[in-house]
Amino acid sequence: MKKHQGQNANTDAEKVNPFNELGFWQFTLVSTLTVALLPWSLIGVFLLFGSQVTKNLVSALVQDFVKTLAAVLLGIGLIVGLVVWIFWY
The pTM is what?
A: 0.72
Range of the domain at 21: 8-88
What's the distance, CA 85 to chain centroid? 35
For 46-70, the DSSP string reads HHHH-HHHHHHHHHHHHHHHHHHHH
Does 19 fall in a domain? yes
> What is the number of structural domains in the chain?
1
Round to whole Å and give the CA distance between 35 and 25: 15
pLDDT of residue 1: 47
pLDDT tens, 50-88? 999 999 999 999 999 999 999 999 999 999 999 999 998
Examine residue 22 and state whether it is found in any structural domain, yes or no. yes
Asked if residue 4 has pLDDT above 60, the reply is no
Is residue 3 a part of any domain in this protein?
no
Residue 2 lies in a domain: no
Residue range 6-21: mean pLDDT, rounded: 68
Asked whether residue 84 is assigned to any structural domain, the reply reads yes
Phi-psi region of 6 (alpha: psi -120 to 50; beta: other; left: phi over 0): left
